Amino acid sequence: MKLRSLILLMVVFAVGITACAAPPAAQPGAPAAAKPKVTHIRFALDWAIEGPSAPFLVALDKGYFAEEGLSVVIDRGTGSAGTVTRIAGGAYEMGYADINAMMEFNVKTPDKALKAIAMVYNTAPMTLFTLKDKGITSPKGLEGKKVGAPAGDAGRRLFPLFAKQAGFDDKKVEWVTMEAALREVSLAKGEVDAITAFYGSGWFGLTRNKVDPSNIVSFMYKDFGLPLYGNAVMAAPAYLEANQEAVKGFLRALTRGWQDSLADPKAAIEIIKRREPLVDADIELQRLQMAIELHFLNDEVKKNGFGAVDAARLSRSIDLVAQGFELPTKPTPEQVFTDKYLPAKERRLPPTK
């Protein structure tokens, strides 16, 4: 009898331990466990999905945004001015556009002003293109010539500033207004003597129109005293403040996409090709490599890391843009850019080969 009682006591004790170790059973009607929060971000590029878009598409394709708890949709743009307007209007939470266009928009529409949070094009791509057979060997040779560009083209609007820095009279140039798609073909056909365009667009637009690369002459504004910054990631200040962790996660993921694109441009273009099957992979690889060499990776970026700006250079750029766009007021550097959301510098340095 004593043995049976002892065995019964041991069984009861063991059951008690198991019951204590097991998780409590869900009660009928109890709320389900909370799922991890996912932040949805609609993101607009400045233009078509091309080689230089690689950092964004690589981060998306490799799941870097997802790892940060972000559901990101990336759409192509139709130009920086349009992208700035769409972000400001709320169609997109964040986007990628020319910081100079953003500055102008902010001054003219202060109640919808945006702020840049990561510089991608460390040098502005504004360029004046002509052909060797036009006989224009320096910017001064543009005097008395026809130059083609859309009315709102950034290179055209900053042309007086370029002329001043390069030492020629911009009033002696005849402008021919045209659609952006007609610029390179117009120069190739000899209808104009020069065009303004972003470097990558102009160069490949001319070669696509059967212009021999050896016949292309380019004058990049950056080489004539205009140290402007180019395309940057931007958003409305209110959105940034309300979604700080999501924004920081976005830039962490983008930094990884940028580093991967630099480390293996060919693999980055394969990702672009999967997204846009009609693109010419060889052309886009060349375009990406050109962007890396001219815009993504200069001495400043090697020193300060991806996304950052030099304070003195930014201040100088703002002065030049305010002058070139004839802005009624001049924004402060703090109104234009913040590095608050960038990862630590050591996480933003270029990949080592």
Domain definitions of the chain by residue range: 39-123+228-347, 130-224
Token pair belonging to 148: 């083609």
Q: For position 10, what pLDDT does the model report?
A: 43
Cβ neighbors of 213 (< 8 A, separation 6 or more) are 203, 207
CA-CA distances (angstroms) from residue 272 to 79, 105, 176?
19, 30, 34
- Tell me which amino acid residue 184 is: E
Contact 200, 290 (CB under 8 A): yes
Burial of 37 (0-12, 13-18, 19+ CB in 10 A): exposed
Beta pairing, strands 39-44 & 94-98: parallel
Low-confidence ranges of the chain (pLDDT < 70): 1-36, 353
> Using CA atoms, how far apart are residues 353 and 350, in angstroms rounded to an integer?
9
Listed residue (209, 204, 207, 170) closest to 186, CA to CA:
209
- The owner of tokens 């550097």 is 333
Q: For position 12, what pLDDT does the model report?
A: 38
The CATH H-level (homologous superfamily) assignment of domain 130-224 is Periplasmic binding protein-like II (3.40.190.10)
Q: For position 79, what pLDDT does the model report?
A: 87
Q: Does domain 39-123+228-347 have CATH number 3.40.190.10?
A: yes
pTM beyond 0.85: the answer is: yes
What is the DSSP track for 223-277? Answer: GGT-----EEEEE-HHHHHHTHHHHHHHHHHHHHHHHHHHH-HHHHHHHHHHH-T
Q: For position 24, what pLDDT does the model report?
A: 44
> Using CA atoms, how far apart are residues 94 and 84, in angstroms rounded to an integer?
9
What values do phi and psi take at 235, rounded to 5?
-165, 170
Q: For position 151, what pLDDT does the model report?
A: 87
Q: For position 6, what pLDDT does the model report?
A: 40
Q: For position 2, what pLDDT does the model report?
A: 46
